[in-house]
């Protein structure tokens, strides 16, 4: 960090265990004194940090760490190994600008183990593309993650998509209480603040549907929802082409009409 700061360079921070709270099992990944030390270093050099990638949890997760002068996006990655969490193997492909070294987008791919066992074929399928899945521009920054986290907390449509990405495999039912825990863990790293946030949401009498996920359902929903996105994009492109065609045809017609009048 020190060298990058002095060289006016930029850093993509890669860590194994993420900061903050495991909202599923209610524990912190780091001892408080160690986490505070690491976050103080991040606060000091935050202007040079592009993003933070983390692993360990085997879940596709988004987080925002913020302090007085820092807003850092954190992206958790689903695992290539299905061990322990009973998730389908997943890999992620990032795209970036070679000149600015800024991230553009990513595509998430998964392998359906049950299907592979039955067919004896390994078929990696696109689960989703970040920009279209969360309706964001193709610029993956901490600000983008902050926007998506805000949408997840405010809109059940994006909350469902986030949960689908997080629990992309396995048989699980997400209760309303667990949804509250998920929402609070998006931005809170202090355990006391996290517990208080969950209690506040419960006292507000907010209502969320319980979600049930299983292997086949999640895969199909991912594919179907992504196809819906592509259809919307295709429709917009077709409408734009038709609009351009009508305008172009109108201009050509007017020119042709004027030319005929001049000849007469």
For residues 139 and 131, the answer to whether their CB atoms sit within 8 Å is no
At residue 144, the pLDDT reads 97
More confident position, 150 or 236: 150
At residue 215, the pLDDT reads 53
Inform me whether the pLDDT recorded for 218 exceeds 60.
no
pLDDT tens sequence across 49-76: 999 999 998 889 999 999 998 999 999 9
pLDDT tens sequence across 120-135: 999 998 888 999 899 9
pLDDT tens sequence across 77-96: 988 887 765 678 899 999 99
At residue 170, the pLDDT reads 59
Inform me whether the pLDDT recorded for 217 exceeds 50.
no
Inform me whether the pLDDT recorded for 245 exceeds 80.
yes
At residue 121, the pLDDT reads 93
Inform me whether the pLDDT recorded for 211 exceeds 80.
no
Looking at beta carbons, which pairs linking 117-124 to residues 24 or more positions away fall under 8 Å?
124/91
pLDDT tens sequence across 90-121: 999 999 998 877 899 999 998 888 888 899 99
pLDDT range class, residue 226, cuts 50, 70, 90: low
């Amino acid at each position: 960090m020190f060298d990058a700061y002095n060289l006016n360079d930029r850093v993509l921070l890669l860590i194994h265990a993420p900061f903050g709270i495991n909202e599923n099992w209610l524990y912190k990944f780091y001892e408080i004194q160690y986490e505070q030390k690491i976050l103080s270093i991040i606060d000091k050099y935050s202007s040079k940090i592009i993003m933070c990638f983390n692993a360990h949890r085997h879940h596709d997760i988004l987080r925002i760490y913020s302090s007085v002068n820092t807003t850092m996006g954190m992206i958790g990655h689903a695992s290539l190994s299905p061990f322990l969490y009973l998730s389908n193997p997943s890999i992620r492909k990032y795209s970036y600008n070679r000149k600015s070294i800024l991230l553009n987008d990513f595509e998430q791919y998964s392998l359906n183990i049950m299907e592979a066992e039955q067919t004896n074929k390994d078929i990696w399928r696109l689960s989703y593309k970040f920009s279209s899945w969360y309706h964001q521009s193709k610029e993956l920054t901490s600000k983008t993650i902050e926007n998506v986290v805000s949408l997840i907390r405010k809109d059940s449509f994006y909350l469902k998509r986030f949960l689908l990405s997080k629990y992309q495999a396995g048989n699980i039912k997400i209760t309303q209480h667990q949804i509250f825990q998920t929402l609070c863990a998006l931005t809170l790293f202090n355990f006391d603040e996290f517990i208080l946030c969950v209690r506040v949401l419960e006292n507000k009498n907010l209502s969320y549907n319980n979600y049930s996920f299983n292997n086949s359902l999640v895969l199909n929903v991912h594919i179907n929802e992504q196809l819906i996105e592509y259809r919307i994009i295709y429709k917009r492109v077709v409408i734009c082409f038709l609009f351009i065609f009508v305008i172009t045809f109108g201009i050509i017609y007017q020119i042709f009409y004027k030319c005929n009048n001049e000849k007469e």
